[in-house]
Chain A
Amino acid sequence: MSTATAPGSLPRYIVQRLLLIIPMVWFILTLVFLLMRVAPGDPVSASVGGRLPEAALDQRREALGLNDPLIQQYWDYLSGVLTLDFGNTITDNTPITQIVKENGGATLTLTISAMLLALVVGLPLGLIAGRYRDTPADGGIRIFGIVTYAAPVFYTGLLVQLLFLNVFSGWPLLGQSTPITEFTVETRTHILLLDAIIAGDGDAVIDVLKHLMLPAVTLGLLICGIFIRLTRVNVLQTLQADYVEAARARGIPERRVVRSHAFRNAMVPVVTIIGLQVALLLSGAVLTEKTFAWPGLGNQLITYIDQRDYAAVQGIITLFAVVVVLISILIDIVIALIDPRVRY
């Protein structure tokens, strides 16, 4: 288990974790690069071949550097990522950074609201299930958690859509807002909800929130199952901890024992888990966006997959992967700051 560490090792630990980013990101970049290059044939003709004359195709190849030696391409790719340049798409020759700028806001809105929803619902349910172990409440909550996690987002999305279509007809099912809102709200942050709030347009805010509800609930339900499960297991473990029994022996009221010993200590690993869920959250977001025609990065990714646009897929996937790695390492550092026992 954890051993006592001299104070002052925390900065060292943080530096260690930060340094680890370099090989991890490098490895992921290389992996994506290699995977994309083992692909057969030529990406340009795969995506836009037949639509453009041969000369234009060759021009595209040249522009994308596909005629350069592999090592040169690798170098360009790596140095590009370092300067936050993820390349251009083949099909419409748009910089990936531009796509990120325009569609990232929608993904951010969706993921953050889904995560908040999952936390608000999942944590209390997990705590209750762990506290009242083996009661009907525990059983019900666990089944709920297992089923919501088992249901693919596109299936939950389908059911939710069918429900709203038949019961609350008129509720917006697809997209981020009505076209009117889209046009009237001035673009400032590329986050529509935020823009609507800045503009002080109440109708637009309500419109966006209405559109946001179904995708956020759908994605939130998926993540919430994990929170329930992990919170519950951690509570079970901390409730059996020696310090909990010791607290009871000092006559601490049971409510307080549960709250400030069992629940609080169970939260530490849960924070780690939240960090690990970023990967799942992004994967879920890709599928949710497709299901609800939500104009985020995931939807863009799928569009480019359908168009066989290698450069776009490579760029967006690279970005996703780097974000996930960065967040997971950030979470490690946050843990080290929260937990006085600095481990490792």
Chain B
Amino acid sequence: MSTTGQDVLSVRDLRVWYGTERGAARAVDGVSFDLRPGEILGLVGESGCGKTTLGRGLLGLLPRGAFVDGDVTFKGKPMPAVASKEYRALRGAELGMIFQEPMTRLNPLMRISEHFEETVRAHHPGVSRERVRHAALEVLRVMGIPPTRYRSYPHEFSGGMRQRLTIALALVLRPAFIVADEPTTALDVLVEAQIIKILADLRREFDTSLLLITHNLGIVSEACDRVAVMYAGRIVEIGDARQVFRSPQHPYTQELLRSTISLSTTGLSFIPGSPPDLVDPPAGCRFHPRCPHAMRVCATQAPVPLEVAGGQRVECWLHGPESQVPPGGGEPLHVREELSVADEA
């Protein structure tokens, strides 16, 4: 758990809050993790649990007025202030972002070549057009886009090709870290597989670390080294992807895995209830109203992050520490039973 020198990115207690009419929405509320070079970390969770905010927060792309706090270390140095020139200089060169909808992410009035020229020159002023072209064609080749299309306009490409274009644009300066925010959600299944393969191969070609935000657990098991499960602004479980899938330790992860549909699925399972209100989250463990194993302590005290046997870090009172559970705290929480009775009625 300690910050080793070789980590590309190290995040400690990151918080991103949005002020709303009703009060502060705690979209990201105390998140910590590390990312090694070339590593792919999957970030999963239901919609509205803060995944996207976390991804954007790391690139400094939050709406004005968002409150950001916490320590982010990138390549051993603290991340610069959000609106600073230094942060801007990192984006594109060292930090990349791939968005969900490729159709609208390219300027319709600019040729692909102009996108590349603009990006490269923003970080290396005065680079010749020829050199930009050379670098761009190199990444485009990896993405499977023929050099003949270099001077085309975005509207001349299909959705899948456009996503490959945006990936190529993100990669042209070989950033050390990329956030991919549900990069395949807007695409059809065949294209999805293609894009995921490209992303999974990134480390071989470019040695890039990737935070892959998705709600598709299949993608995580296919492409990711490690996985972080997010619930209501917090990472509730993080660890080796295979290990987490083989033996999930947090009840939320277990429920999430159980509700995944696969070929062997015989009945549909879902997690009752919906993600909590981020303005007024439940006290204690935020998952306790929906948790099948909730105990008394869960409703009053926030759980402590703990490393468990499989190597994952989990935030759940089921794993202790016993010493901090107040007397009687281990009793099952009756609220839960009433709720499930009500559900069945």
Chain A residues proximal to chain B, CB less than 8 Å: 2, 4, 7, 241-243, 245-254, 256, 260-261, 264-265, 268, 339-341
Question: Is B166's CB under 8 angstroms from A246's CB?
Answer: yes
Offer 22 A-B interface pairs, CB within 8 angstroms, sorted by A. A2-B108, A2-B155, A4-B155, A4-B156, A242-B101, A243-B107, A246-B106, A246-B166, A248-B61, A248-B91, A249-B91, A249-B170, A250-B122, A251-B88, A251-B90, A251-B91, A252-B92, A254-B88, A261-B107, A340-B108, A340-B109, A340-B155
Inside 8 A of A249's CB, which chain B residues have their CB?
59, 61, 91-92, 96-97, 99, 170
Beyond the given A252-B119, A265-B107, please list 10 additional residue pairs across the A-B interface where CB-CB is below 8 A. Answer: A2-B108, A242-B104, A248-B61, A251-B122, A251-B123, A252-B118, A256-B118, A256-B122, A268-B109, A339-B108
How many interface contacts (CB-CB < 8 Å) are there between A and B?
Answer: 79
Which of chain B's residues has its CB closest to A5's CB? B155
CB-defined interface of B140-152 with A at 8 Å, one 1/0 digit per residue?
A: 0000000000000
Band of interface residues on B: 20 to 34
Inside 8 A of B104's CB, which chain A residues have their CB?
241-243
- Of residues 188 through 224 on chain B, the ones whose CB sits less than 8 Å from some CB of chain A are none
B93 in contact (CB, < 8 A) = yes
**Known contacts A248-B91, A249-B59, A249-B97; is-contact A243 B108 (Cβ 8 Å):** yes
Complex CA gap A341/B153 in Å reads: 8
Q: Which of A241, A245, A253, A340 contacts B153 (CB 8 A)?
A: A340
Chain B residues proximal to chain A, CB less than 8 Å: 59, 61, 88-93, 96-97, 99, 101, 104-110, 118-119, 122-123, 153, 155-157, 166, 169-170
Q: In the complex, how many angstroms separate the beta carbon of A261 from the nearest chain B beta carbon?
A: 6
Which of chain A's residues has its CB closest to B120's CB? A250
Complex CA gap A254/B96 in Å reads: 17
Which of chain B's residues has its CB closest to A341's CB? B155
Q: In the complex, how many angstroms separate the beta carbon of A247 from the nearest chain B beta carbon?
A: 7
Question: Is B90's CB under 8 angstroms from A260's CB?
Answer: no
Inside 8 A of B170's CB, which chain A residues have their CB?
249-250
Inside 8 A of B118's CB, which chain A residues have their CB?
247, 250, 252, 256, 260
Which of chain A's residues has its CB closest to B100's CB? A242
Question: Is B122's CB under 8 angstroms from A253's CB?
Answer: yes
Inside 8 A of A245's CB, which chain B residues have their CB?
61, 99
Inside 8 A of A265's CB, which chain B residues have their CB?
107-109
Question: Is B101's CB under 8 angstroms from A250's CB?
Answer: no
Q: Which of B93, B99, B155, B166 contacts A251 (CB 8 A)?
A: B93
